Amino acid sequence: MSEGIEITQELRQAFISEAQEYVQRLNDCLLELEKNSGDADALTEMFRAAHSLKGMAATMGLDGMADFTHEVESVMQAIKDGKIALDEEDTCLFFAAVDAIENMLDQFAAGNDAPAVRGLGCEQVTAQLKALLEAGTTGEGTEAKVLEHSSHLNGMDHTVKVETAKLDELINLIGQLVIARNRLAAFCEAGDVPEEALQEIDQATSGLQDLAMRLRMMPIQSVFRRFPRMVRDVAAELGKKVRLEISGGDTELDRAVVGRMGEPLVHLLRNAVDHGIEPPAIRKELGKPEEGLVRLSARNEGGRVVVEVQDDGAGIDPQRLLEKAIAKGVVSETEARQLNESQILELIFLPGFSTKEQATEVSGRGVGMDIVRNVIASMNGVVEVDSKPGLGTTIRMHLPITLAIVKAMLLKAQEEIFAVPLEFIVENILLDNRAVKSMMKRPVMEWRGEVLPVVSLREAVGLQGQCTGASAVILQTGKRKAVLEVDEIVGQQEIVMKSIGHFLGSVKGISGATILGDGRVSLILDIASLLN
């Protein structure tokens, strides 16, 4: 840019500080949009901030930054003009995009005169912005030129941009293939098809399915990265000192799961700062460091992903929580007496505790905890709470890595077959009825030194009579275990999860449906609610 303006030190400084202001403004707008995706003011302001940043960067001769912000601006323009709708995943994407801008700004401030988009997931950000734009525009006018102009940003030869719709179609087709394979297996068992034919299809299907799943995986970082700012903002608003530690951002999950984690995490982190971490003066009095610690982490654990929000704040007082629950009529006094400490803590997930005025009084969490549980349960995940009064609270979410195809155990109750995702099953056992004892009028059984409740599948799904036979499975979600008594253990099968939400509404105890190899519909048990 030899013909450009002369960059003085003064100009450089002015650029950095004003650009930082715009980055902050972009963040603020995104937080607004996250609450209300139709907020026209926030949209307009975001567009303007991106536009200004672009102009400034171009003036400074920072082409990489100018091109990238132009991309963001173009998408904002399309959203503003109603050409594309902003959904939750897009908000994640924009947070990532703003982070990329901030990163470039940092590079420049640190003396790099040609900052470029780089770092975890940045190529995807650019690619996804473009994909969004292409999906929303017909290619006429200015936007089309934009894409040409900055195409070099995407110069990663080993990556290919794929529309997510195509990917979903691929997953669907594989789903059908899995079902067909299962049907073939049924014929094979009957001796109508040679075994080798099945084996070949089996291998191909598994390979294909595995690959398709990996295509859908993305690091949870794309959701995590927006939280440092949010926690900082909430803390500042409340006059608290909070440090957020993030780990495991590179843990990969199905993009559908990642896309839905935003809302629950917003609730959990806000609660941790708002209701968990004490004001600095109080912490000082208690002998705690003035600065509270909130940890957000993700890790792989036994075929699932565990996402945790942990704080070193006030914790939840189970006694006070219980009193409130009784006062609110959430539990009766008789029921209350039978609850152990961890069961008491779980009361916070009930809708009765989710109102704002309750939350502050209850000295714990409350705001949106029922929402958190619903979102997690809808993905076949489980959320649990751990808390020590005075020491802090941990909310732990166990999530499936993928939503589409899972290995499941098929269980029979009367003539109905139900499916349970395999990750919930510890083992199959032979049930000796003499081992079942009664404790507080509930059937329990000792299993490897633990006393577990015994649940009848027939009863759980509203079928008549006692289970016959001697089969049961040990179920586990998080810390909770139970014995599930069934009529018959049919066996394992890969199942394609179909949501039944659309036509059946939310059915208690059922999280979805699938089509079995023989063409029958099988309902998928919601283990979390079954164990409650």
In the complex, the residues that contact another protein under the rule CB under 8 A are 1, 3-6, 8, 10-11, 14-15, 18-19, 45, 48, 51-52, 54-56, 58-61, 66, 70, 73-74, 141-143, 145-146, 149
Q: Confirm if 275 and 242 have CB atoms less than 8 A apart.
A: no
> CB of residue 77 vs another protein: minimum separation in angstroms?
8
Instruction: State in angstroms the smallest separation of the CB of 213 from another protein.
Output: 39
Which is nearer to another protein, 144 or 208 (by Cβ)?
144
Shortest distance, position 57 Cβ to another protein, whole Å: 9
Indicate the residue among 73 and 487 with the shorter CB distance to another protein.
73
- Residue 254 beta carbon to another protein: minimum distance, rounded to whole angstroms: 35
- What is the smallest separation between the CB atom of 59 and another protein, expressed in angstroms? 4
Q: Which of 315, 314, 297 is nearest to 306 (CA)?
A: 297
User: Residue 103 CB, nearest distance to another protein (Å)?
Assistant: 19
Phi, psi of 45 (to 5 degrees): -70, -35
Q: In this structure, are residues 58 and 68 in contact, taking their beta carbons and an 8 Å threshold?
A: no
- Tell the smallest beta-carbon distance from residue 113 to another protein (Å): 15
**Residue 149 beta carbon to another protein: minimum distance, rounded to whole angstroms:** 7
Residue 62 has which token pair? 């920072």
Contacts of 338 (CB under 8 A, 6+ apart): 440
Q: Coil, helix or strand for 121? A: coil
- Return the number of the residue (45 or 254) whose C-beta is nearest another protein: 45
Place of tokens 């004490």: 278
Among the listed residues 400, 396, 401, the one whose alpha carbon sits nearest the alpha carbon of residue 308: 396
In SS3 terms, 316-373 reads as: CCHHHHHHHHHHCCCCCHHHHHHCCHHHHHHHHHCHHHCCHHHHHHCCCCCCCHHHHH
User: In the complex with another protein, which residue's Cβ is closer, 1 or 236?
Assistant: 1
Query: Strand, helix or coil at 172?
Result: helix
Q: Is 191 left (phi over 0), alpha (psi -120 to 50) or beta?
A: left
Look at strands 436-439 and 425-430 and give their pairing: unpaired
CB of residue 78 to another protein, shortest distance in Å: 12
Which CB, 36 or 142, lies closer to another protein? 142
* d(C-alpha 403, C-alpha 380), whole Å: 8
- Residue 10 or 157: the one with the smaller Cβ distance to another protein is 10
Cβ–Cβ under 8 Å, residues 127 and 159: yes
Between 15 and 418, name the residue whose CB sits nearer to another protein: 15
C-alpha 466/C-alpha 265 separation (Å) is 42
**CB-based contact 40:94 (threshold 8 Å):** no
Q: Which is nearer to another protein, 23 or 367 (CB)?
A: 23
46 vs 307 by CB, closer to another protein: 46
- Nearest approach, Cβ of 494 to another protein (angstroms)? 49
CB distance 345 to 353 below 8 Å: no
Nearer to another protein, 70 or 229 (CB): 70
> What minimum distance in Å lies between the beta carbon of 85 and another protein?
22
What is the side-by-side strand order in the sheet with 425-430? 425-430, 471-477, 480-486, 450-456, 442-447, 436-439
Query: b/e string for 117-138 if b means 16 or more Cβ within 10 A?
Result: bebbbbbbbbbbbbbbbbebbe
Strand stretches in 119-192, DSSP E: none
Using the minimum distance from each CB to another protein, give the nearer residue, 152 or 337: 152
Residue 141 or residue 194: which is nearer to another protein going by CB? 141
Least separation in angstroms between CB 5 and another protein: 6
**Residues in Cβ contact with 6 at an 8 Å cutoff, skipping those fewer than 6 apart:** none
Helix residue ranges, H only, 190-317: 195-216, 221-224, 227-238, 255-260, 262-271, 280-285
